[in-house]
Amino acid sequence: MPGQTDNFLELLKPCYSDALKYCKALCAKRSLDDAEDVLQLSLIKGMENIESLTEHSKFRSWFFKIITREFYSFTRKDFWRKFLPIDSGDLAADIPELFDRGKQSDDKLMLEKALAELSTKERSALLLFELGGFSIEEIKEIQNEKSVSAVKSRLSRARSKLKQYIVTEKSADNNNSNINSEQKGDLNHETITLITEIKSN
């Protein structure tokens, strides 16, 4: 058993940082504590099931799939909790600091709020594609979809919503914009620029 744990931790090292960012981004509507809980649950599930991974080269995709499933499970449980008596303090959930505890740029805060506008599956698909670097086919497997067209449609909807939110916010902002007029219609540029900034920190 110790050998399996060591094996899991060794495979986890190269993608731990992105896995943490992915959990935080998935929980954009929730809290940093929720993101950490999802990661902890995923780590436990991963260690318990590491023997099922036959190809170590596929660890990243395998682990991100576990995170996605744990997040879905976590949110389903939370849905049912809404029908049970809870303390009023549990209702106060501010939008968390998405990627860092440190100071965030205006663009990071805008991306955080834009991501919170997406549905769970839209946000998951977009983050897996843009931040995780997964292919459409890999995302299809992670999200248990039957066709790549379903994932493509989901990504398209997510990008359209982000574009609408970002362009609206930028045009309403009286301060200097970091996105010039030629780039405002190019969601790929907007999204990738923001995520590149996040990954570099």
Do residues 22 and 70 touch, judged by C-beta distance below 8 A?
Answer: no
- pLDDT score for 77: 66
- pLDDT score for 78: 59
Nearest to 60 by CA among 126, 20, 15: 15
Taking the C-alpha atoms of residue 164 and residue 138, their distance in angstroms, rounded to an integer, is: 27
Do residues 97 and 108 touch, judged by C-beta distance below 8 A?
Answer: no
Angle between helical axes of 187-200 and 148-172 (0-180°, round to 10): 90
SS percent in the chain: helix, strand, coil, step 5: 70, 0, 30
Q: Which residues of the chain have pLDDT under 50?
A: 80, 82-103, 174, 177, 179-188, 198-201
Taking the C-alpha atoms of residue 123 and residue 129, their distance in angstroms, rounded to an integer, is: 10
Taking the C-alpha atoms of residue 185 and residue 49, their distance in angstroms, rounded to an integer, is: 44
DSSP state of 124: H
Q: Which residue has the tokens 């991974």?
A: 53
- pLDDT score for 182: 45
- pLDDT score for 179: 45
Taking the C-alpha atoms of residue 77 and residue 82, their distance in angstroms, rounded to an integer, is: 9
Q: Whole-structure pTM over 0.85, yes or no?
A: no
